[in-house]
Amino acid sequence: MNIHHLELFYYVARHGGVSAAARRIPYGIQQPAISAQIIRLEDGLATTLFHRRPFKLTKAGEDLYRFIEPFFGGLDGIAKQLRGGSEVSIRIGAPETILREYLPRLLKAMRKRAPELNITLVGAGPAQIEVGVLTHEIDVGISPLLGKRAEGVKQKELIHVPLALVLPKNHPVTSAEKLWQQDRIVEPLIAGRTDGAIHRLFQAELQKRKVEWFPSLELTSQELIARYVAEGFGIGLMLVEPGAVPPSGTKLLPLDGFPTIPYGLLWTGTLSPLQRAFCEEAQTLATAFAPK
């Protein structure tokens, strides 16, 4: 039996399918390559190891997984032991803006505490971050804390982030209140997912002001919203995330009186010493970013 084929089968069996395994194998390999090599393993053993649709291990697959799991499941532990017990790797999930504006300063502080630190950064939205934490693809996530957490996910609030409108830099409107006073806002609203908690909160606040203004464009990231605003397609709704500055060619209008959005850390289980140190540094930096 090829040891690499066994490793691929371990990830497929552990995560319940080829596509799930491809997202979690700690090196780049595509689904077709995994499938092809698993078939070679099955051909060599002259048996089927799992049913594909829906996924389920066969009796032979269960027997093989029980045999190889202690070895592959214990690799991280033995690696840590051979390094003298020191932990050097952490996987962090966060929105793109946080990765760009907030994480560099945070990770610089972390390297002072752990000079040999290996870092994996995962750009994702709130739902994907929570799933990543639950499936152990991510050690610690930084995310908006809206709605209820899934069972088993723990959280720690770091900072409250305000909402703002983003407009072209030369736009004549100088405050959000001037928009609310209009009989009808003619400019298109550019926003993120309309089924998300942030959009629902924004619409609820508009209703209190008896303002009707619904998105004309629904985009997948703050970067895209800012780009379309800068190109003159409308007015955007954004979170003013820690460390963020107005994108080139735009200006921000604070949404006074609107609720702020809590941001914080997500994780499962008990934090390791390295993960706890990361959370401490995140709290320190968030305090520095907080409004005075």
* Statement: residue 86 has pLDDT above 60: no
* pLDDT score recorded for residue 80: 64
Tell which phi-psi region holds residue 6, choosing left (phi > 0), alpha (psi between -120 and 50) or beta: alpha
153-161 vs 140-144, strand pairing mode: unpaired
pLDDT digits (tens, 9 = 90+) for 187-239: 999 998 877 778 889 999 999 999 999 999 998 788 889 899 999 999 999 88
pTM above 0.75, yes or no: no
* pLDDT score recorded for residue 209: 92
pLDDT digits (tens, 9 = 90+) for 241-288: 766 677 788 899 989 899 998 999 999 888 888 899 999 999 998 888
Distance CA 257, CA 22 (A): 45
Do the beta carbons of residue 216 and residue 234 sit within 8 Å? Answer: yes
| Sign, CA torsion 106/107/108/112 | positive
Distance CA 273, CA 259 (A): 34
* pLDDT score recorded for residue 212: 93
Cis before 54? omega within 30: yes
pLDDT digits (tens, 9 = 90+) for 94-143: 988 788 878 898 999 988 888 878 888 988 888 889 888 887 888 999 99
Question: Residues with Cβ < 8 Å from 55, sequence gap 6 or more?
Answer: 16, 17
Distance CA 64, CA 230 (A): 57
* pLDDT score recorded for residue 197: 78
Distance CA 230, CA 227 (A): 5
Instruction: Tell me the β-bridge partners of 140.
Output: 92
Tokens 């209703």 sit on residue: 207
Distance CA 150, CA 268 (A): 10
The amino acid that residue 229 corresponds to is V
Element (H, E) at 144: strand 140-144
Tokens of 43: 């051909």
More confident residue, 292 or 285: 285
